[in-house]
Chain A
Amino acid sequence: MSNVTAAWTALSPALLLGLTGLALLVVDTIRPNERSNTSMAVVSALGALASLSVTVWFVIAGRGHVDAGGAITLLEGAVKVDTLALFFTAIFASVTALVVVAAHDYFHDHANPAAFYSLTLFAATGMALLAVANSLAVVFVALEMVSLPSYALVAFLKKNRGSVEAGLKYFLVGALSSAVFLFGISLVYAATGSLVFGEVASAVESLDALAGVAGIGIVMIVGGVAFKTASVPFHFWAPEAYEGAPAPVSAFLSSASKAAGFVVAFRVFTEAFPLGASVAAGIDWALAFAVVAAVTMTLGNFAAAVQEEVKRMLAYSSIGHAGYALIGLAALSTGSAGNEAVMGAAMAHLLVYGFMNTGAFLFVAMAERWGIGRTFEDYAGLARRAPVACTAMAVFMFSLAGLPPFAGFFSKYFLFMGAIENGFLWLAGLGAVNSVVSLYYYSRVVRAMFLDDPATPSALDAIDVRPTALYAAVVFAAVATVLLLPGFGPVIEAAEAAAAALF
């Protein structure tokens, strides 16, 4: 079919998201004093779902698949649509749809809902563009397109000191790391003379005097990726930003924005700096990622275990999950047949994570909407008043912990098995130990909701508000998390096919 339709239509998932963002501004111009955000929520949810459907249709039709004419390159090779790009675009579009629906209740009385919805859609456009980037220039522009709206979204409640502080800290670390990332790109350009991945890769094979310059550049690019994925050493913005930001924004950042960081990492490091050639030039980035992955998952999980607030616990747990997904890069070895299995498993984990983590943060959004507190104790006895939502939250928690009957178990299992098959037993073992630690703090939430008694009988009276859209988003995320259990086979197959095209 790619012969029949024009090549540029391969970009339509990204274009749909961008056009929806513009359409929201038009809606706002027509009715500038509209306080109800229903029209905004409907338009943005339809846009995100349209983008998702087109993406899924492309995946099923095999567009950009190796068997159907291969990847579609556009704009002088600066943009490339392949299965990897479509896989990640599906994650971004699903998370965006969940978040915009949930935000309908969360921002029910906000003075300027159009700003929230358009910024979210523009950030999602940047993510979809990031997934198709095939040049370091496009990567940087798209990365900024994700980051700039995100800073504004975190500081969106401009009269709330926590939100402003979170936005400030996110901006400070983000601006610094994007400058470091940019300098890394400039050094790679200095060493190779090109920004397009394929040309960089062939230049890396014949580096001579400038191998040191390229090496420093690659380390700086690792730093930029670490920021976007909230990994050590650029992780410390994450707990602050996720805790202070409005909860739907936290959900968006910790699921979609993190996956955006990973799509860049997967593509840049396999296509621009192939492992074999990089190691030959003395730049072993897989070792760097192995160290980052090990430290990130350990720090994230152990810090999460000592938190008192649920939202902050989820923030640290999302750092821990970044560590798991980094195994997809860390456990690669030159010419190994298991490479696509481990990277495919990391991608499948990010998809499952997109639903379960978004759902968990949206549950926190619901708790904020109800006005019950933020700590574990404040959630005590919640299951008696809101059994459906609490069951959904229990599904998210057990799936995040990786307990067997849930999708989170399968993605983690494939990830650790892939690492073991590639000879990284220590990394898989560390991941398993960390999963056990994580079970402790995830089950604390479930215990508080289902087993503990409320502190005072009237503590939960505030939850008489029924936020329908938030409920729908949370329940849908839970259903998706459960349905990914029987649906895991096709997902992992698509992910491995996408990863195989990279090697």
Chain B
Amino acid sequence: MVPVQWYLLLAAGIFCIGLFGVLTRNDALYFLMSVELMMNAANINFVAFAWYYSNLTGQVFALFVIALAAAEVAIGIGIILVMYRNFGDIDVTVPTEMRW
């Protein structure tokens, strides 16, 4: 049986990979994928500790999170689409209408 601490480390590792992607990629779609990684890292924690504490709270919440992540991607793709129509690119550093 894998000790529960290893899941914590795995989740932290995936979270950091996602965070690294968010900070280094300019492409909006890579950004979305990286955020998905970060959310799924949290899901690993929820499922692993639901097993550890033998309650179902974490597992059920992980399902909620999957649904919410899908909704967030739908909104995100929509915004990236109008961004492409207006700016002709999906590089997040291109839109600079306002001072940053």
Q: Is chain A's binding surface mostly helix, strand, loop or mixed?
A: helix
- Give the number of residues in A that approach B within 8 Å (Cβ atoms): 41
Closest 6 CB pairs of A and B: A186-B45, A179-B38, A165-B95, A186-B42, A193-B53, A158-B82
Known: A137-B64, A213-B8. A189 touches B57 (CB 8 A): yes
Q: How far is the CA of A413 from the CA of B72 in the complex (A)?
A: 41
Q: Note all chain B residues with C-beta closer than 8 A to A195.
A: 57, 61
Asked whether B72 lies within 8 Å of A175 as measured between CB atoms, the reply is yes
**Nearest-CB distance from A218 to chain B (Å)?**
15
Interface residues of A in 131-166 (CB under 8 A from B): 137, 140-141, 144, 148, 151-152, 155, 158-159, 161-162, 164-166
Q: Is the CB of A182 within 8 A of B65?
A: yes
Whether B86 sits at the interface, judged by CB under 8 Å, is yes
Say yes or no: is A388 at the interface (Cβ < 8 Å to chain B): no
CB <8 Å contact, B15 and A164? no
* Cβ-defined contact, B98 with A190, below 8 A: no
- Write out the residue numbers on chain B whose beta carbons fall within 8 Å of the beta carbon of A159: 86
Across the interface, do A190 and B8 meet the contact criterion of CB distance under 8 Å?
yes
CB contacts under 8 Å to A, within B1-60, are: 8, 11, 15, 18, 22, 28, 31-32, 35, 38-39, 41-43, 45-46, 48-49, 52-53, 55, 57-58, 60
Other 11 A-B pairs with CB < 8 A, given A148-B72, A164-B86, A186-B45: A137-B57, A140-B65, A161-B97, A168-B28, A175-B72, A176-B22, A182-B39, A187-B45, A189-B45, A194-B57, A195-B57
Cα–Cα, bound, A240→B82 (Å): 17
Cβ contact of A172, chosen from B11, B53, B92, B98, cutoff 8 A: B92
- Given the complex, which residues of A lie within 8 Å of B83, measured CB to CB? 164-165, 168
**How many A-B residue pairs lie within 8 Å, measured between CB atoms?**
123
In the bound assembly, the distance between CA atoms of A159 and B15 in angstroms comes to: 35
A215 in contact (CB, < 8 A): no
Instruction: Considering the complex, give the chain B residue whose CB is closest to the CB of A154.
Output: B79
Q: Are A178 and B72 in contact (CB under 8 A)?
A: yes
Contact A168 B42 (CB under 8 A): no
Q: Map CB proximity to A onto B79-95 as digits: 1 under 8 Å, 0 otherwise.
A: 11011011100001001
Q: How far is the CA of A168 from the CA of B82 in the complex (A)?
A: 9
A179 partner, pick from B39, B71, B75, beta carbons under 8 A: B39
Q: How far is the CA of A189 from the CA of B38 in the complex (A)?
A: 16
B71 touches A144 (CB 8 A): yes
Q: Which residues of B contact A179 (CB under 8 A)?
A: 18, 35, 38-39, 42
The answer to whether A193 and B31 touch across the interface, beta carbons within 8 angstroms, is no
Q: Does A243 contact B (CB under 8 A)?
A: yes
What are 6 pairs between A and B in contact, CB < 8 Å?
A: A140-B65, A148-B75, A161-B86, A161-B87, A179-B39, A240-B98
Question: Is the beta-carbon distance between A141 and B58 smaller than 8 angstroms?
Answer: no
Q: Which residue of A lies closest to B100 (CB)?
A: A240
Nearest Cβ in chain B — how far from A148, in angstroms?
A: 5
Name the residue on A nearest B54 (C-beta).
Answer: A193
* Closest residue on chain A to residue B60 by CB atoms: A137
For the complex formed, measure the closest distance between the CB of B20 and the CB atoms of chain A, giving whole angstroms: 12
Interface centre among A164, A169, A180, A239 (most CB of B within 10 A): A164
Could you say which residues of chain A place their CB within 8 Å of the CB of B80?
Answer: 168
B78 to chain A, nearest CB (A): 7
Which of B28, B65, B72, B98 contacts A165 (CB under 8 A)? Answer: B98
Distance to closest chain B CB from A205 (angstroms): 17
A155-B79, A159-B86, A176-B22 known; A190 vs B95 contact (CB < 8 Å): no
